[in-house]
């Protein structure tokens, strides 16, 4: 049975239909697209031309609004490690979670944050993205730091599904898995990581100098609608790959220091 999906292409076209087989490692797949006439036409889809593929839940098909469906931040749907905010070149923004994210990979999957979402998962072509903001979940940080085990985190997340108004840190503390001091220490580390500035990260990685950062900041004062990363790219100080790699290295080094 073909899985229902929506294919959004980089050039703006969108097709709805089904696919009997799909693999993120294959360069193409066949889409059996539903035309307005009611006929079904088969297309060979090239992954390199795809912006995103939305895989739909069968039981949600009658309710889905295909052109307005959005993934929005909501309650956590499972024991995941990262929260991603994905900004595409065309301006669309998607939110989701994933167990693993590497900015050097050509594509990745995200899962909607809400259990009741009509979308099961989303395949994203990294080529179509302008920026991906990756944040580590608090519970996973505690596992990295050795304060709790992965099994203890899973147990707390299961409990959170029943007590949705409670934060994961509060649940872990109530169950005696972490102390108040440990929770405050982890929160401080999380905030430090969250607020580290892009310019500082790029300087530490050797991609730009302090003088180049200052020049970019001066340019940003004139063009306030532009992000610093885009200005640095426009000035040809860095490439998008430089930024992605620097952010990836920063996450890795922070996690190692937290675990130690």
Res 5: pLDDT: 92
Res 51: pLDDT: 97
**Is 93 within 8 Å of 128 (Cβ atoms)?**
no
Res 165: pLDDT: 57
Res 75: pLDDT: 36
Domain locations in the chain as residue ranges: 3-136, 138-193, 196-259
More confident of the two residues 60 and 39: 39
**Is 242 within 8 Å of 188 (Cβ atoms)?**
no
Res 156: pLDDT: 74
The mean pLDDT value of the chain amounts to: 76
What does pTM read for this prediction? Answer: 0.52
- Work out the pLDDT band at 35, boundaries 50, 70, 90: confident
Percent of the chain residues past pLDDT 70, beyond the cut: 69
Distances (CA, A) of 251 to 43, 111, 256: 40, 21, 9
Res 7: pLDDT: 95
Q: What is the mean pLDDT of residues 64-70?
A: 35
Distances (CA, A) of 128 to 50, 132, 232: 8, 11, 19
In the numeric block, which tokens belong to residue 68?
Answer: 């307005």
Mapping DSSP to helix (H, G, I), strand (E, B) and coil, where does residue 20 land?
coil
Query: pLDDT tens across 177-208, in order?
Result: 788 887 777 666 655 554 457 788 788 777 88
Q: Is the pLDDT of residue 9 over 80?
A: yes
**Is 130 within 8 Å of 84 (Cβ atoms)?**
no
Among all chains, which residue has been given the structure tokens 């707390």?
156
Q: Which of 7-21, 108-122, 148-162 has the lowest mean pLDDT?
A: 148-162
- Work out the pLDDT band at 122, boundaries 50, 70, 90: very high
Helices (H), 62-101: none
What number of H helices and E strands is found in the chain? 8, 10
Beta strands in the chain (DSSP E): 3-9, 14-19, 28-34, 40-46, 50-56, 82-88, 93-98, 107-110, 119-125, 129-136
Q: Is the pLDDT of residue 248 over 70?
A: no
DSSP state, 18?
Answer: E
More confident of the two residues 147 and 45: 45
Q: Which of 47-51, 86-90, 95-99, 115-119 tops mean pLDDT?
A: 47-51
């Amino acid at each position: 049975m073909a899985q229902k999906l929506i294919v959004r292409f980089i050039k703006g076209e969108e097709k709805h239909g089904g696919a009997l087989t799909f693999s993120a490692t294959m360069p193409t797949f066949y889409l059996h697209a539903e035309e307005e006439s009611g006929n079904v036409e088969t297309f060979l889809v090239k992954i390199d031309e795809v912006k995103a593929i939305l895989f739909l839940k069968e039981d949600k098909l009658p309710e889905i609004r295909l052109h307005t469906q959005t993934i929005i931040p909501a309650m956590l749907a499972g024991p995941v490690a990262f929260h991603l905010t994905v900004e595409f070149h065309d301006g669309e923004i998607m939110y989701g979670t994933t167990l693993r994210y590497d900015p050097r990979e050509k594509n990745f999957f995200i899962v909607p944050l809400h259990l009741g979402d009509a979308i099961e998962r989303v395949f994203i072509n990294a080529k179509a993205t302008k920026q991906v903001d990756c944040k580590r979940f608090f519970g996973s940080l505690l596992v990295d730091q050795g304060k709790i085990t992965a099994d203890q985190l899973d147990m707390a997340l299961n409990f959170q599904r029943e007590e949705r108004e409670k934060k994961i840190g509060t649940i872990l503390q109530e169950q005696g898995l972490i102390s108040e001091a440990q929770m405050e220490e982890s929160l401080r580390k999380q905030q430090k990581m969250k607020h580290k500035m892009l310019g500082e990260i790029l300087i530490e990685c050797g991609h730009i100098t302090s003088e180049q950062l200052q020049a970019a900041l001066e340019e940003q004062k004139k063009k306030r609608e532009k992000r610093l990363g885009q200005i640095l790219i426009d000035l040809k100080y860095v490439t998008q790959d430089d930024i992605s790699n620097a952010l990836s290295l920063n996450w890795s080094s922070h996690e190692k220091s937290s675990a130690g």
